[in-house]
Amino acid sequence: MKLLSLKIFTALLALSLCPASLHAWCWIRDTGSTSLGCASSQYKQSCCNGNLRLWTDGTIEYRISDVTPDPLIVSLKAGIDLWNSLEMSSFLFDYQGTSAFTSVSKDETNLINIDPDFATRNNMIGEGILAISTTWTQGSGTSYRAVESDIAFNGEEFNWGDGTGGTINTTAVVAHESGHSAGLSHAGVECQNAGSEGCGANFEEATMYWLYSAGNPGQNNKASLELDDAAALIHGYPVSTFTVKVVNNADIPVPGITVELLDAAAPRDGQDSLEGGRVYGDVTHSDVLMGDKAPSGSYINQTPFDLTNASGLTNAIHPTRRTVRIRASIGGFSQTVAHTLINGPSTLTVTMPDGLDDLVGPLLSITSHTSGDLVKTDTLTLTGTASDLGRGDSGVQQVTVNGLPAEGGSATTGETATWSAEVPLVTGSNTITVSATDNATTQNETSQSLSITYDIVPPAVVRTYPSNGISEIPVNSSISVQFNETMNPDTLSAATFTNNRGLSGQVTYDAASRTATVTPESPLAPLTAYTFTLTPGIQDTAGNALAAPVVWTFTTQAAPASSSSSSGGCFIQVSQE
Amino acid sequence: MAPLRHVIFFLIPLLFFFPPSLSATTVLPVSLTQLTEKADTIVAGVVQESQAYWDEGRIYTDITIETMEFLKHPTPDRPTVIVVRTLGGQVDDMRMEVHGVPRLKVDDEVILFLKKDDQAYTIFGLYYGLCRIETDPLDATQRVSGPLFRARTTQSLNTKALRLNPLPPQGEGLDAFFQRVRDLLPPSDETRNP
């Protein structure tokens, strides 16, 4: 219990410190793997989007090469069988006996081999390669499927055994590698720093964690699965899927209910042996995706249902255990129900008692502005609507903006209030709080806050490329400028980003780096001075224009000596000796 | 067999101190020193094209590199184009996916630590011998990064000991990396002072 508490505390602490960096397990996807670090944007696109690399029947029929020593065959099967023991996953590794094949190749056999000629056979002597795992796939998009997988261990340069006496733990390594064959990528966001790939919680004990030695100095605990591993495979091959609906006695969906999925354990061989992990389910609703697209900390006491869905709480859950408990709560009322899952889809309906009064605040919306807006007036008119419809419906008593009543901020039962308020602003950031209160005896309140920036400061240029006065600029260069704040891209065009040579090109704007770039349609002329001008027509998102034109000049290099400076991208300065 | 036994003798104890990072392809991290010494050719270049094909039940991809600068090469000639053979690739709708083996696309700028056997160049250590060059669009400065930089510790070829990787994890400037490699080359190597 202490260990569980420690893990939860650690997860919450880590989440509070760096909520964006924690993710759960990761799948291999049809967007491909990459050797880039996870930190790069390209990595994240490849890793966390795209269709899962699934097997059509959820089964890998595999054989072990008959050149593998018998004791190691036992170890290999033991490692692979770990995945078969997950009760809530339908995936199966099906052993078919030994094979005369020895090499990684597309031969309709899913082969595992501790190859005594590995390094020589693959011409990889002395390269430190312990194992190669290969999966063949067909199709793309939704038809993307794995069709064959081979794993070859380097039995020529390394000793395989049980992890003692200088041997490598065969069971542990094959459990990890076969997880890849099934479709799992690495767990562990720290792989970003190690040149490996995958994303996921830094749960070092996980078998799919990227670092073999992590979690236990003896390494042997990699020969067992953790909850992160289980949840990953179950995500791709769920035995059960269920939805939850919360209704009243008239079978009408009750909105505003907080619903929590309790119970974190994932049974293995009927025992809750994996309790204490960080992941306990998966939600497929696009707004609250779990798994490798959500912070793993959110698995703890999460509320994984779409509470704004008036038709019911319909997110599909892939539970990691057969029996789950659901807690539905509103105000001071809470109800917990247990649910035993069947194979396949099922629905759990939670019926709330009649005695519940109106315990939900009105539905409030702000229609005139969104948080993050920049304005250049010292007063704004904020407008929106408020209604208690479907939420107990005692009517809307009032809407306040920063504590002051808004005009039109009340409505009777069954009606919608259309409210407005004049809000004075100070220079810089302004936080505006809008609250709506209903007419229930408990005066239920709903609040929203938004941040509005009153911006009257003209934008400025941070730097240009090329810099002013620079010469010998490559003729295939683009011209770019970085601003000190977010700009209105509609004001960046050839008409406002001009040059003295009539050079035409596309003007693009990257909001993330606040950079505008002119990409010339043809190379710059050699040994030519170019003067670029940014006109005051260029504005920031609040509408503030440049205070004055920005002008800079540079000179291009002589004509290239060879064709090597083509658009392919020469990154080496050619010596002019 | 003596050299092989020698390798095993040293590598097995190393596994106690620094077990490898797991991957579908599992590779012991190597040092820049080791890579520089073991590579037959170290070259910077730009990917011009790639061609995947079947060979004995495997898919390989030949990557054509337009060479820009050699840091090491066994012969005086400096080919303007070399072809690097990589394991995995896609032919029609069939892919052979080898976790950890780099995928290169046209216009990628790279520094490769290559082995040469018979006809083909291959990347040393599957992916450890690949560094990528990325150019800052604003100031055109270029940085080198790759798995070689991100390994926490590396293995010294000369002492067989493990040491902290001296390379900055997030990569470093192109010129600094070139100089770092050149400093590891024997003084007699003609590419040391181009």
* pLDDT tens-digit map of A564-577: 222 211 112 111 22
The amino acid that residue B99 corresponds to is H
Q: How high is the pLDDT of residue A229?
A: 81
Quick check: is B104 in a domain? yes
For residues A208 and A274, membership in a common domain is answered with: no
CB distance from A8 to chain B under 8 Å? Answer: no
Q: Are residues A25 and A86 in the same domain?
A: yes
Mean pLDDT, chain A, integer: 75
Domain finish residue from A300, A317, A351: A351
With beta carbons under 8 A apart, name residues in chain A contacting B139: 463, 465
Q: What is the pLDDT of residue A212?
A: 60
Q: How does residue B27 score in pLDDT terms, banded at 50, 70 and 90?
A: low
- Out of A13-22, A146-155, A186-195, B95-104, give the one with best mean pLDDT: A146-155
Residue B2 has pLDDT above 80, yes or no: no
Query: Looking at residues A115-137, what average pLDDT do you find?
Result: 87
B126 and A137 within 8 Å at the Cβ level: the answer is no
User: Is A192 touching B (CB cutoff 8 A)?
Assistant: yes
Residue B155 domain flag: yes
Domain boundary among A394, A423, A454: A454
Q: Tell me which of A444-448, A504-508, A550-554, B25-29 is least confident.
A: B25-29
State pLDDT tens for residues B77-129.
Answer: 889 999 999 989 889 989 998 876 767 888 889 999 999 887 789 998 877 88
The answer on A209 and A129 residing in a single domain is: yes
| Bridge partners for B50 per DSSP | B63
- Output B171 or A257, whichever has higher pLDDT: B171
- Whether the pLDDT of residue A8 is over 60: the answer is no
A541 and A429 in one domain?
no
Residue A4 or A112, more confident = A112
Domain assignment of residue B80, yes or no: yes
A216 lies in the same domain as A68: yes
Q: Is position A213 within any domain?
A: yes
A145: its two tokens? 């499927």
**ipTM given for this complex:** 0.80
Same-domain status, A433 and A493: no
d(Cα B79, Cα A380) in Å, to the nearest integer? 67
Q: Is A145 on the interface with B (CB under 8 A)?
A: no
Total count of domains within chain B: 1
- Percent pLDDT > 70 in chain B is 72
A55 contacts in B (CB within 8 Å)?
none
A37 & A112 share domain: yes
pLDDT of residue A532: 95
Note whether A325 and A278 are same-domain residues.
Answer: yes
Contacts of B57 in chain A (CB under 8 A): 103-107
pLDDT tens-digit profile of A239-264?
Answer: 887 777 777 777 766 666 777 666 54
Alpha-carbon torsion (A41, A44, A49, A51), positive or negative: positive
Minimum mean pLDDT among A54-58, A408-412, A459-463, B164-168: which range? Answer: B164-168
What CATH number does residue B156 fall under? 2.40.50.120
Q: Domain containing A443 — which CATH number?
A: 2.60.40.10
Residue B139 inside a domain? The answer is yes
Quick one: average pLDDT of A399-419? 95
Determine whether the interchain pair B149/A571 forms a contact, defined as Cβ–Cβ distance below 8 Å: no
- In this prediction, residues A228-235 reach a mean pLDDT of 79
* Whole-angstrom distance, CA of residue A488 vs CA of residue A481: 14
Q: In chain A, what percentage of residues exceed pLDDT 90?
A: 34
Give chain A's domain count. 4
Taking 50 as the threshold, does the pLDDT of residue A314 lie above it?
Answer: no
Distances from the Cα of A448 to the Cα of A432, A562, B135, angstroms:
8, 63, 43
Determine, yes or no, domain membership for A574.
no
* Residue type for position A388: D
What are B130's two structure tokens? 């690949």
pLDDT digits (tens, 9 = 90+) for A25-83: 677 777 654 333 334 433 333 344 567 889 999 999 999 999 999 999 999 999 999 99
Same domain? For A243 and A229 the reply is no
pLDDT of residue A76: 96
Within a domain: B192: no
Print the domain residue range for B44. Answer: 2-184
Coil, strand or helix: which one is A182?
A: helix
Question: What pLDDT score does B100 carry?
Answer: 62
Does residue A201 sit within a domain?
Answer: yes
pLDDT over 70 at A274, yes or no: no
Which of residues 458 through 477 in chain A touch B, CB cutoff 8 A?
463, 465, 477
| A45 and A135 housed in the same domain | yes
Question: Does residue A5 lie within any of the structural domains?
Answer: no
Query: Which residue in chain A is spatially nearest to B130 when comparing CA positions?
Result: A35
Highest mean pLDDT of the ranges A93-97, B72-76, B100-104: A93-97
Distance CA B52, CA A221 (A): 40
Res A270 pLDDT > 60: no
Q: Which of A321, A351, A381 is the last residue of a domain?
A: A351
Examine the domain organization and report whether A449 and A422 are in the same domain.
Answer: yes
Whether residues A145 and A292 share a domain: the answer is no
pLDDT over 80 at A310, yes or no: no
Whether B55 is covered by a domain: the verdict is yes
Task: Name the pLDDT band for A533 (thresholds 50, 70, 90).
Answer: very high
Q: Which residues span the domain enclosing A376?
A: 363-454
User: Does the CB of A173 have a partner CB in chain B at under 8 Å?
Assistant: yes
Chain A residues 105-124 within an 8 A CB cutoff of chain B: 105-107, 123-124
Q: What is the mean pLDDT of chain B?
A: 78
DSSP assignment string, chain B:
-HHHHHHHHHHHHHHHHSPPBP-SEEE----HHHHHHH-SEEEEEEEEEEEEEEETTEEEEEEEEEEEEEEE-SSS---SEEEEEEE-EEETTEEEEETT-----TT-EEEEEEEEETTEEEETTTTTTEEEEEE-TTT--EEEESHHHH-SEEE-TTT--EEE--S-TT-EEHHHHHHHHHHHS-TT-TTS--
The whole-number pLDDT of residue A303 equals: 38
**Given a cut of 80, is residue A283 above it in pLDDT?**
no
Range of weakest confidence among A2-16, A39-53, A353-367: A2-16
**pLDDT score, position A56:** 92
A373 located within any domain: yes
Give the lowest-confidence range in A91-95, A114-118, B89-93, B102-106: B102-106
Residue bearing the bigger pLDDT, A32 or A539: A539
Region of poorest pLDDT, from A145-154, A292-301, A377-386, A414-423: A292-301
Q: Are B25 and A513 a contacting pair at CB < 8 A? A: no
For residue A264, the distance in angstroms to the closest alpha carbon of chain B comes to 27
pLDDT digits (tens, 9 = 90+) for A465-481: 888 888 878 787 888 89
